Chains A and B, each alone.
Chain A
Amino acid sequence: MTDGSSEKAGDFDHVRTRSGLDLFVLPTKKWKTRVLRLHFRVPSSERNAARALVPNLLRRGSRSLPTMAAVSRAFEGLFGAIWTSSAYKLGDEQIVAFRLETVEERFLPGRPRLLGPALRHARELLHEPRLEGGAFPAAVFEQEKLNHRREIEALYNDKMSFAFQRLLDLMFPGEPYGRPVLGTVEECDALTSPAAVAAHRELLACPMRAFAVGDFSPAEVARLVEELVPEGSSNPAGAAPPPAAAPRASGAPSSPRLVVEEDDVSQSKLVGGRRVDLADLDERQFDALRVYAGVLGGGFHSRLFQTVREKHSLAYFASASLDRLRGVLYTSCGIDAAARDQVRALVEQEIASLAAAPPNAEELEQTKRLIVAGTRSLVDSPSSMMESLDASFATGRVRTLDQIARSVDAVTAADVHAAARRIGPAEVDFCLQGEARPAGA
């Protein structure tokens, strides 16, 4: 099945099949289920809406399973086998992921055969959608298009995610990185059934990585995935793209642009973004940036949480996160509108203080321990293992969890101080702002 090239990729076995597919397998008997995932990767573009819609059209029926109910029944009949999809962003890419999970047959009465039949259904759904005259049936297409539009609009219902997307719109207008993963309402409205058929073909032909965790052997997974994605229908994942060159931090404006949108919210959301200079990062500096973000806003012990929430009682949450693919530091706080400027000043103050002096020994150690423990714990979650490996291809640093943990552990206060110098000034502060209502305290 394979061309014999098998090597390690992080904690996984990397197998390249004869047809050139890249598989990453973690054989283990730890779990009660077996999980297979296919990640189709495309650059984010104005076709995000079309590609994110494809999985919803595929589950509406296939050659032998003509309706959504028949599709669901086929999987549910296999003791609740799961076939789901999701679309998410990784740097400048849109990932359309499919996941198949079946229960280990030995835990069920009569040891029913589950994986083989589930795989056949999945294969048919991926490749043989129910088409009429080469297009998705009109009623199905129109309904899924409408549902997709509503799903895009529903981002507004989760005010934190909504605020983040508004920040991305403002910081990265027109760039792939800033695009909403499900596309925009306008892009969705413009979709046609032939465009959806084309997006389906585009997905199946784009670079793909397959991941498997469970009681599999690499050769078995190679056989299964070749069955799922037949020879020639998809391209190998290829080499990892180099991390996008982020604009130098010095190019950013010197005073942050505050954008306020009034809305009917009880808790206001304050989110901010700064560019991070990723030029000439070695492994130590790469991990020092992560430790920096942890000291600033990665947990109860962090500067932002302790200052904004614990010391000043101005927020329910206050945190920071870092995108090391693109080089952006995000801060976010859930606040009362009356406290907006005070919280902005406190965030600024903590960032300035970490630029002025290295973190103290205690907060450094605490942050490192949290990151190391979190990294080591990923091994207990199949999905996290797969997503972490996939993300590591994007940064071009494929390591075992143990290697990551050791590298983080070696980060010093001076490294974090150096990392702080890579953080640019606040570029945009976005506030989704409700009426000011001082708290009862």
Chain B
Amino acid sequence: MQLDAIPNSIGETLLRGKLPHGLTLVLNPRPGFTRAFGMLATHYGSLDSRVPSAGGALESVPDGIAHFLEHKLFEDKAGDVSLRFSSRGASCNAGTEFGKTAYHFACADRFEENLETLIRFVFDPWFTAESVAKEQGIIAQEIRMYDDDPDWVVFFNLLESLYARHPVRINIAGTVESIRAITPDLLYRCHRAFYHPLNMVLVAGGGGFDHARAADVAERTMASLRFEGGAKWTRPRIDEPAAIQRKRHEQPFAVSRPQMALGFKDADLPTDPRDWLKRDLATRLLLDVLFSESSPRHERLYESGLIDDSFDASYTGEHDFGFTILGGETDEPDRLAAELHATLAAARRDGVAREDFELARNRFLGRYVRAFNSVESLAGALASGHFRGIEIDDLVSAAMALTHADLEARLGSHLREANSALSILRPKEEADDDDE
């Protein structure tokens, strides 16, 4: 198999090749490392709330099915797949996100066997009514664990407020009720639609393995599998109204003090992946300029006691949605929201200083270099980049091409009160008093 180098400014060895049935392989050999890592990811997640039917039309599936499918693939006819990894001293896990589901393992030896197991189990669905029923009990417990996590709850309450129709508002694990409607047949349909090699990427990195031999193992294993039809999944753009669904949502919760999240719904939804990248980076650098600890605006809010170390500012974007979230724990959620709006309005008047912009960009470059320390996080970034159609070094060139005017444009268009919604969790008085 031909492996081509992926150029990057760090000088890291990154190789890419094409496996049988169209699966993309990316390798990141790291001499001197002990641990090896393998990840097989599909461009499928909680956003994919509809599955193509035989006739091609899209049909709705129960909320949480992508996550349910992720759990269920760990069981096949021979039993529990994770035990096969652990019998070799390897650890394995998986994660479902909005737009991606990734299966991975880490090991200190027997890499090739683990790589083969990874490929085989992800492409080998096996569901029975009994095993689905058992998983419903386990996932119900997982959902209840998330139900007790204030960060998670304030976040999804906010997304339900920002979005009327877009599936980003759906809780990734679904609900105890929605997963009851999941059947083996639905799982098979989702697997057939979204787990085709053309829709997936295999990333392997770390030390203790020979990359050419790993490529051979992957090639042989893929060649032994059969696939019918299938294609790269193109996620349809959702026709989401620009307006905010609900301006404000409040929920009593077992927390020590109120928690708030102020969200801004993005209307800038370009079609070209390079434009999303520019949008994402400009927004992230802008949030850094406005709200990093070095910012006088952050300092003012901190000294006023409205925010503390729990405060965070982040942006999440895909091709047909994007949102900024500002928030954390605070005694006065409404006053903080008003202060944040006032801070943004003042920043629009003052503009973004070139010096602050340069500082944020240098910090971004430092973070970029640091991200190469971890084989796992680099693998995740490579998989996401693959699905978005961007190369890893595009991050650097896009950041270098930004100007402070790009940040000002985002400040002017995106972070507006009209685009915002507020999510609040307030302590239940009684729950607080019981806390010794």
Contacts and interface: CB of A to CB of B under 8 A. Distances in A.
Residue among A71, A80, A299 with most chain B CB within 10 A: A80
A109 B87 CA distance: 46
A81 B366 contact: yes
A266 B147 contact: yes
A150 B309 CA distance: 11
Contact of A108 (B30, B88, B180, B366): B366
B373 interface: yes
A77 interface: yes
B34 A377 contact: yes
Interface string A253-280: 0000000011111110000000000000
B176 A439 contact: yes
Interface in B140-162: 140-142, 144-145, 147-148, 150
B133 interface: yes
A398 B37 CA distance: 28
Interface string A384-399: 0000000000000000
B89 A373 contact: yes
Given A69-B293, A72-B292, A80-B362, A370 B145 contact: no
B286 interface: no
B82 interface: yes
A80 B366 contact: yes
Interface residues on A, range: 35 or more
Contact of A157 (B32, B140, B150, B308): B150
A316 B138 contact: yes
A376 interface: yes
Interface stretch (A24-32, A200-208, A323-331): A24-32
Residue among A29, A73, A78 with most chain B CB within 10 A: A73
A300 B83 contact: yes
A30 B141 contact: no
A150 B254 contact: no
Contacts of B435: 153, 156
B176 A156 contact: no
B305 interface: yes
B10 A316 contact: no
A80 B358 CA distance: 12
Interface in B258-297: 292-296
A139 B305 CA distance: 11
Contact of A76 (B206, B294, B305): B294
Contact of B136 (A68, A72, A370, A439): A439
Contacts of B147: 266-267
Contacts of A403: none
B89 A76 contact: no
Contacts of B294: 69-70, 72-73, 76
Interface in A363-416: 365-366, 368-370, 372-374, 376-377, 379-380
Interface string B360-377: 001111110110110100
Interface string B300-311: 001101001110
Interface in A105-162: 107-109, 139, 143, 146-147, 150-151, 153-154, 156-157, 159
B256 A150 contact: yes
Given A32-B370, A69-B293, A153-B256, A299 B86 contact: yes
A263 B254 contact: yes
A420 to B, nearest CB: 21
B10 A28 contact: no
Contacts of A139: 303
A143 B305 contact: yes
B144 A266 contact: yes
Given A369-B86, A369-B87, A267 B32 contact: no
A441 B134 CA distance: 6
Interface in A48-78: 67-73, 76-78
Contacts of B21: none
A240 B295 CA distance: 43
Nearest to A81: B366
Contact of B180 (A71, A154, A264, A440): A440
A217 interface: no
B256 A156 contact: yes
Contact of A335 (B141, B309, B365): B141
Given A31-B373, A156-B435, A157-B255, A79 B141 contact: no
Given A28-B32, A373-B107, A299 B299 contact: no
Contact of B359 (A76, A109, A441): A76
Nearest to A265: B148
B365 A309 contact: no
Contacts of A67: 299
B86 A157 contact: no
Given A101-B370, A301-B83, A369-B89, 12 more contacts: A76-B359, A156-B255, A266-B144, A313-B137, A315-B138, A366-B86, A369-B87, A370-B89, A379-B33, A439-B136, A440-B176, A440-B177
Interface of A: 28-33, 67-73, 76-81, 101, 103-104, 107-109, 139, 143, 146-147, 150-151, 153-154, 156-157, 159, 261-267, 299-301, 309-310, 313-316, 334-336, 362, 365-366, 368-370, 372-374, 376-377, 379-380, 437, 439-441
11 contacts: A33-B370, A73-B359, A76-B363, A80-B366, A108-B365, A301-B86, A316-B139, A369-B87, A373-B91, A439-B137, A440-B137
